[in-house]
Amino acid sequence: MTPVLASTLSPSAYWYLARGTGAVSLVLLTAAVVLGILGSVRFTAPRWPRFAIDAVHRDVSLLVIVVLIIHIVTSVLDGFAPITLLDGIFPFVSGYRPLWLGLGTLSFDLLLAIAITSLVRRRLGYSAWRAVHWLAYASWPVAVLHGLGTGSDVKQWWMLALTAACIVAVLLAVWTRIARVSGEYAGLRGPATALAVVTPIGLAIFTLAGPLRTGWAARAGTPQSLLGHTAAVPPVGSSGASGSSGSLRSTGSSSSTVLGNSFSSNLVGNVTQTQAPGGAIVDLTMNVSGQVHGQLRVRLGGVPIDGGGGLSMTGSQIDLAVAGQPAVLQGRIVSLRGEEFDARVAEGDGTTLNIHAQLQIDTNNNTVTGTLSGAPA
Ligand code: HEM
């Protein structure tokens, strides 16, 4: 199994889909909540009679569930993080970021309850249906927290802008709703206003103090196997093992202490090759030890070379999780020669590395050993 010839990349389609459908679900859920509120306050406009708003609200809500199912399935299929289908049904049981992933699951379960009770609304009776429907107000901020707490793109300006736009849209709708509260619900105006003010402030504080700070991946509950070892890792260039900056629990660790200099490490792991129509996918999962500790995952897609037993690469994805580094560095192979490759990996805060790996692949045992060296780009 000798991959040859570097070409273009195509990082895991599942990962892109999970991220894309996450962002789309948030936008659709926001639209469904806003349309639901507009319907309930009898909002009309010349080209938007109430029945049209109600119909769009229903269709968008069903679409949210379809997109969410794709979001959950692609998160499971991506395979990098240990997420199972059960994690998409039962909240807070996942081995991967249990709280933040669990909030997504909770929100999804609430939406399912809303959808199912809406389907049997006639048999259920209006007041019971309405009581369940109010859960929509809870499912939305819970979903926002999930996206902020577990999303890969939370540090990107566009994801923050998208989330902020969703928050503003829902706030405007909720304040319109509160202003029109009357009759038996008039007493709820005070608490609802307080909640509508406190929620966005709370979300902003959480984002600044949590996901936007370094070390969030470890604090959020990412398994050690994805981050590296818990033992303190000496910063590159230091002689002792006492440096606390390498500890995954250390929120003060930064890229300059862990990956600020050239390093070299050893690789040990295993290889799997999966045949796919028109090609094959090779996955190499390796533990990194030496001057840096962590895990390196390489995924290559390619077409078999006639008679050569090798693979002509058509795409690649690299994930490098390093102890002491707050987020996984990701990138692609830029040059591949036999069992040796050069790659460039980066993470959201701007840390970019050029890495070089020299591998020995044992096709009989499906194992791989080798060396990894890297330097700041
Ligand atoms: C109402 C329900 C949900 C909504 C609105 C939602 C929305 C989102 C959003 C906005 C993101 C951030 C995407 C990014 O940063 O690019 C995200 C990430 C993620 N969600 Fe959900 N989600 C929901 C439920 C779930 C459930 C039930 C699962 C369970 C498997 C799940 C798994 C994930 C994962 C694994 C990520 C991280 C993907 C990445 O690497 O960015 N989500 N979700």
For 269-278, what is each residue's pLDDT tens digit?
998 888 777 7
* Ligand 1 within 6 A of CB of 150: yes
pLDDT of residue 21: 97
Write the DSSP symbol of residue 275.
E
pLDDT of residue 249: 22
β-partners of residue 354 are 344, 375
Give the residue, 64 or 184, on which the prediction is more confident: 64
Query: How much distance in Å is there from the Cα of 104 to the middle of ligand 1?
Result: 6
CA-18 nearest atom, ligand 1: 38
Q: How confident is the model at residue 246 (pLDDT cuts 50, 70, 90)?
A: very low
Among 30, 65, 78, 146, say which to mutate for ligand 1: greatest number of ligand atoms within 8 Å of CB: 146
What percentage of the chain has pLDDT greater than the value 90?
46
Whether 181 contacts 192, CB under 8 Å: yes
pLDDT at position 294 over 90 = no
Q: 350's torsion region: left (phi>0), alpha (psi -120 to 50) or beta?
A: left
Q: From CA 32, how far away is CA 59, in angstroms rounded?
A: 9
Query: What crossing angle do the helices spanning 13-40 and 157-179 adopt, rounded to 10°?
Result: 20
Give the residue, 281 or 74, on which the prediction is more confident: 74
Query: How much distance in Å is there from the Cα of 22 to the middle of ligand 1?
Result: 5
Distances (CA, A) of 250 to 205, 219, 230, 262: 21, 9, 10, 22
Query: How much distance in Å is there from the Cα of 145 to the middle of ligand 1?
Result: 10
Give the residue, 47 or 341, on which the prediction is more confident: 341
Tally the C-alpha atoms within 13 A of residue 241's C-alpha that lie toward its C-beta.
Answer: 7
> Whose Cα sits closest to atom 16 in ligand 1?
19
Neighbours of 51 (CB within 10 A): 10
* Ligand 1 within 6 A of CB of 97: no
Whether 73 contacts 83, CB under 8 Å: no
* Ligand 1 within 6 A of CB of 302: no
Whether 332 contacts 306, CB under 8 Å: no
Whether 346 contacts 332, CB under 8 Å: no
- Please tell me the chain's helix, strand, coil percentages from 3-state DSSP, rounded to the nearest 5: 45, 25, 30
Give the residue, 17 or 303, on which the prediction is more confident: 17
* Ligand 1 within 6 A of CB of 297: no
Q: How confident is the model at residue 252 (pLDDT cuts 50, 70, 90)?
A: very low
Query: What crossing angle do the helices spanning 13-40 and 50-78 adopt, rounded to 10°?
Result: 160
Look-up of token digits 């050993």: 369
Look-up of token digits 């709280």: 99
pTM for the whole structure = 0.65
pLDDT at position 229 over 90 = no
Give the residue, 297 or 309, on which the prediction is more confident: 297
β-partners of residue 336 are 341
Least confident segment among 60-74, 239-253, 327-341? 239-253
pLDDT at position 142 over 50 = yes
* Ligand 1 within 6 A of CB of 88: yes
Angle at the Cα of 315 from the Cα atoms of 310 and 318, rounded to 5 degrees: 100
Residue ranges of the domains in the chain?
13-212, 228-376
Whether 377 contacts 354, CB under 8 Å: yes
Please list, in sequence order, all residues whose beta carbon lies within 8 angstroms of the beta carbon of residue 187, skipping any fewer than 6 positions away.
none
Q: How confident is the model at residue 15 (pLDDT cuts 50, 70, 90)?
A: confident
Among 65, 71, 167, 317, say which to mutate for ligand 1: greatest number of ligand atoms within 8 Å of CB: 71
* Ligand 1 within 6 A of CB of 68: yes
Query: How much distance in Å is there from the Cα of 31 to the middle of ligand 1?
Result: 17
Q: From CA 265, how far away is CA 283, in angstroms rounded?
A: 20
What tokens appear for 99 in the block? Answer: 């709280």
Closest by CA position to 366, among listed 296, 273, 274: 273
pLDDT of residue 10: 37
- DSSP string over 103-114: HHHHHHHHHHHH
